[in-house]
Structure formats: C-alpha cells, structure tokens
Amino acid sequence: MPKTLCLILGDQLTTAISSLKAIDKTKDVVLLAEVWDETQYVKHHQQKIAFLFSAMRHFAEQLRERGYQVAYYALDGGHRYQSFSTAVKHAVNTHKPDNIVVTEPGEYRVLKAMQQWQADLGIDVDILEDDRFYCSIQDFKTWAKGRKQLRMEGFYREMRKRHAVLLTESGTPEGGKWNYDADNRKPPVKGLAVPKPYQAKLDDTTKAVIKLVAETFSDHFGDLTEFHYAVTRQQALTALNKFIDERLVDFGSYQDAMVTDEPWMFHAHIGLYLNCGLLLPDECVAKAELAYREGRAPLNAVEGFIRQILGWREYIRGIYWLKMPDYEHENFFDASRPLPSFYWDADTDMQCLKQCVQQTQTHAYAHHIQRLMVLGNFALLAGIDPQFVNKWFLIVYADAYQWVELPNVTGMALFADGGVIASKPYAASGAYINRMSNYCKSCHYQVKLKTGSEACPFNYLYWYFLKTNADKLSRNPRLAIAYKNLNNMDDDKLSEIMNSAEAFLNNMNEA
C-alpha cells in the first residue's frame, strides 16, 4: 500500500484538519516541524513563538497517543531545519513516502513554496482545501464575482442564512435585526468589574519552550513573563467555556470600551486558538448561540460575537485570497513615513498609544478597538507606510497570520486599498478615544485642545489627514460633513492645525 507523508503546519493543530482526515494512521507518517524561516520571515513576538511551539509539541504528543506515527522536528532537536521545504525534503528522504498530503496554508507565500514541492521532490503533492472555514475560498470568489461592492454586511447575512445561525423558525434574524452593532458601543463606566481571564498552568513542555525562546529569540519584540495562554485543545475549550459563562453577557455592550491597565475587558481572547486550530469556528458559534437560546446571554452580545467569527473572520479570509498577491503592495495614500519608535518601546507621552503598546508587549494581545482606533488610526493619520504597519501587526499579535492581519490593517485600519473593505477611512480625532476610554484623563496631552504643543495629536492630525488627502477623499459621501467643516474653517485656524501637525510629524519619535 502506498505510504503518505502528511505535513501539519503550526496553524493546523486539529484532528479535524482535512490532511489528517485523508491519511491512514496505521501506515502513514505525520510531520510537524519547528523551522527557522517561520520564526524569522517577520520576527514574531516571543510569546507568539512560545505559544505555537508549545501547542505544536502538545498536539504531536496527542497524535502519538491516538496511534499516529509522528515525526517532530524541534528547533533544539539537534538539527535546525531552515524552511518547510527543507524539513519536508528531509522527511521524504527518511520515510520514503509515495506521496505528500497537506492542507492549504493560511499564507500566500507558503502556498507558493508548497506548489514547488511536486517538481522539486519528484512525488505527488496533494494540497487539500482547509474546510475549517464556513466559506471556502472558491465560494467567496463566487460570492464576490460581479459585485461592485464587497461589504461584510451582505456577506454576513448570507452566511447567517446559509448556515442557519441565529435565525427564527421562519428564517428571519433573531430579534428582527441582522446586526446589533449600535448596541455594542457603551463607553466604560467607573468600577466595571471585569472577570479574571483564563490562565493556564505552565507544564514542563511549555517551560522548556519558554526557555528555548528566551535563549534563541531574545532580540524579538515582547516579554515572556506573563505567558498564560492555553496550549492544548482541552485548555482552549476551558478558556472558551469560561468566556461564555463569565464574559459574554457584557461582551456586547462594552466591546469597544478601553480602560487603563485593563487589557482583557469582556473579550474572549480566543483568536489565537481559533487561528491555530485549537478551537473550531463552528463550535464557538454554537456555544454562543446556545447561551442566547438558554437565556444566559443577551442578543447584542451573542450576535456581536457571532458576527466576528461567522461574518468578519470569514470575509477577511475571502478578501485575502481574492486580492493576493497585489494586496500586499496597496498604498492608496502613498503614505511613506517610517513607524515611530514608540510602537516598539511604548516610550510616548500619548497615554492611549502607551497603554496599547505596553499591553501588546506584555500579552501579545490588544482588542479590536485598541488595534483599529488607537494603533491603526494613529498610523493612518500620521501617514505611516503600510508596509511597516503590516509588518508590526504581524509581529506583535499572537493571533496574527498574514491572511487575517493584512486585510484588517491594509483594508480596514489604513484604507490603503482605497475602499475594498471599508466605505471610508476609520479616521478619528481624540474625541472618539476620549469617549470610549479613560486614557485621556491620565494623558500628558489635552484632548480638548485642538492645536499647539499641549493639544492631543489626534486632533490636529485628523484635519491634516483630511486636508492633505482631499483629492482622494473629498468626494466620498460618507465624509461629506467632515469636508464641509473643513471647508468652513477659517484660514488662521487651518494654518494653526497644519503647523501643529507638521511640527509633530517632524519630531514624532519624541512625542
């Protein structure tokens, strides 16, 4: 009988992956490999590497317990494999398989490498569909075909109907509305009691990996000291259940709120588990829907949570595979400034940015509004080159792979695709951050001041951004009011704004 080699990537850690389902454990070999290039194509946060290596090692062990024959190439296992291609080549020479089976990877660059293997190795390579997603790449392309606009909302409604999620018996949306976003924007109130997040105990495997990462990747961004993420499926399920029981109830209302020294809020913190395979999208959606049906969580929370998974996450993946490889080079505003150094060291007097970067260093995590409306918004307003911004986001978040990071940053945060994803840039002044957080209360800058050295930089950068990009944005109907206000501004005020912005941008690393 022919023998198969099955490569499992670091973000395919589930027995539900199509490649594992296609093999016969009595005779085939499963390969997992910690490879140098994957740790270096961007220099990932130390916790991201520790998380994935530990999760990979635990997954390999579980496969062995289930009777699979597993080859595991550890980075500290005596030989350092450069890339997936070199690891696969070695495994082919060692195990002499007749063919290779893999599930399609999450990143375009890895797919391109895989597509070379058949010719390079001289054996058949089957690249199977990744059917962990609700919507296949082909189905998304079919949905997108012929549409003038590819907005998430239309896609999401179709997914709700196609997969019968949160529908009444007659097929209408639960509660009468498809989207409860308007009920998901409560500002934080004083004394909000946020439940303690899930924290896994570190076992010997995780401790060994942390040591390896500390020794090998000490020049990478981020700390290792607060590593408490789940590294097995069982632990990830516990984290998910804890979220459903303790946080989901308030997740909806406070989804966009930001609080000083409170990184976790009511969010689920499961993105990293979903994106590496420890959790599956449909089980998260099913658990949230059940909580609603049993009266344990309100509709605005459950719909908001489900929209992120069934709507946004699937839509973003679809856009990535529809638009790659050109999408990597989008730069609608020709933004060219380098990333300020405070994105790396948090050394800034802007409290919102300081808080978001600090917690990113400590936890390899920030929630969506911190990413979009603080870190992304600043990069948009300050005209940072999208290449640098994308690289930063890919490095620093434990849940980041290019398929999910690139459309969120290029399309959503930076509007660098000129409006494929968003109908207008998500540009906002300090007033938005002040409304949705308590950061401004302890900031060196004054959120109420519009210009001058004490003023909140987001305030003048907002108008500077609109003014300098008027040729590209002023005809956008969703910005009509903003441009009307800009056009009605008297010349003195406008020149004060422009001067404040230029002074700031010329000295950004000192802000």
Instruction: Verify binding: residue 350, ligand SF4, rule CB under 6 A.
Output: yes
Which residues are paired to 102 by β-bridges? Answer: 7, 127
Q: Which does 10 bind (CB under 5 to 8 A by kind): ligand SF4, ligand DLZ, none?
A: ligand DLZ
Residue 33, SS3? strand
Interaction partner, residue 39 (ligand SF4, ligand DLZ, none; CB < 5-8 Å by kind): ligand DLZ
**Smallest separation, CB 459 to ligand DLZ (Å):** 38
- Coil, strand or helix: which one is 5? strand
- Out of 179, 434, 451, 500, the only residue in the binding site for ligand SF4 (CB under 6 A) is 434
Considering only the stretches 69-77, 318-326, 402-410, 442-450, report the one whose residues sit in contact with ligand SF4 under the rule CB under 6 A.
Answer: 442-450
508 counts as binding ligand SF4 under rule CB under 6 A: no
> What's the closest the beta carbon of residue 127 comes to ligand DLZ, in angstroms?
12
* Angstrom distance (rounded) from CA 216 to CA 224: 13
Report the sign of the C-alpha dihedral through residues 210, 352, 458, 411, in that order. Answer: positive
447 binds ligand SF4 (CB under 6 A): yes
Taking CA atoms, 182 is separated from 89, 199, 477, in Å, by 53, 32, 21
What is the rounded distance in angstroms from the CA atom of residue 203 to the CA atom of residue 225?
15
Per-residue interface string for the shown chain with ligand DLZ, residues 344-383, x marking contact by CB under 6 A: ----------------------------------------
Minimum separation from the CB atom of position 478 to ligand SF4 (A) = 22
The site for ligand DLZ, by CB under 6 A, has a size of: 16
The set of long-range contacts for 443-452, using a CB threshold of 8 Å and a minimum separation of 24, is 443/349, 443/350, 443/351, 443/352, 444/349, 444/350, 444/351, 445/349, 445/350, 445/351, 450/496, 450/497, 451/493, 451/496, 451/497, 451/499, 451/500, 452/496, 452/500
**Residue 255 has which token pair?**
């989804």
Helix-strand-coil percent breakdown of the chain, rounded to 5?
Answer: 55, 5, 40
When the beta carbons of 116 and 442 are compared against ligand SF4, the nearer one is: 442
Phi-psi region of 9 (alpha: psi -120 to 50; beta: other; left: phi over 0): beta
- Residue 35 interacting partner from ligand DLZ, ligand SF4, none (CB closer than 5 to 8 Å by kind): ligand DLZ
Which range touches ligand SF4 (CB under 6 A), out of 112-120, 169-177, 346-354, 359-367?
Answer: 346-354
In the list ligand SF4, ligand DLZ, none, the entry touching 430 (Cβ below 5 to 8 angstroms by class) is ligand SF4
Considering only residues 402-431, where is the footprint of ligand SF4 by CB under 6 A? Answer: 430
Q: Which does 443 bind (CB under 5 to 8 A by kind): ligand SF4, ligand DLZ, none?
A: ligand SF4
Comparing CB distances to ligand DLZ, the nearer of 84 and 439 is 84
Q: Does 105 bind ligand DLZ (CB under 6 A)?
A: yes
CB 381 within 8 A of CB 413: no
Which residues ranging from 291 to 330 are in contact with ligand SF4 (CB under 6 A)?
none
Which residues, 6+ apart, have CB-to-CB distance to 196 below 8 Å?
none
Tokens 């005779």, located at residue: 27
Q: Which does 87 bind (CB under 5 to 8 A by kind): ligand SF4, ligand DLZ, none?
A: none
Q: Which of residues 393-412 bind ligand DLZ (CB under 6 A)?
A: 401
* Among residues 51, 251, 397, 445, the one that binds ligand SF4 under rule CB under 6 A: 445
CA dihedral 199, 200, 202, 205 (to 10 degrees): -140
**Residue 106 contacts ligand DLZ per CB under 6 A:** yes
**Whole-number Å distance between alpha carbons of 395 and 379:** 16
Q: Could you tell me where the DSSP H helices lie in 217-266?
A: 233-246, 248-251
Query: Which residues neighbour 349 within 8 Å (Cβ) at sequence distance 6 or greater?
Result: 443, 444, 445, 511
The pair of structure tokens assigned to 456 is 């909140």
Least Cβ distance, residue 337 to ligand SF4 (angstroms): 18
Distance CA 486, CA 502 (A): 17
Position with the least CB separation from ligand DLZ = 10
Q: Which stretch binds ligand SF4 (CB under 6 A): 33-41, 176-184, 358-366, 456-464?
A: 456-464
Q: Under the criterion CB under 6 A, does residue 33 sit at the interface with ligand DLZ? A: yes
Task: State the DSSP code for 486.
Answer: H
Shorter beta-carbon distance to ligand DLZ: residue 39 or 361: 39
Q: Which of 283, 253, 257 is nearest to 270 (CA)?
A: 283
Name which position in 81, 342, 458, 462 contacts ligand SF4 (CB under 6 A): 458
Which stretches of the chain bind ligand DLZ, using CB under 6 A?
A: 9-11, 33-35, 38-39, 44, 49, 52, 105-107, 110, 401
Which parts of this chain interact with ligand SF4 (CB under 6 A)?
A: 350-352, 430, 433-434, 439-440, 443, 445, 447, 456-458
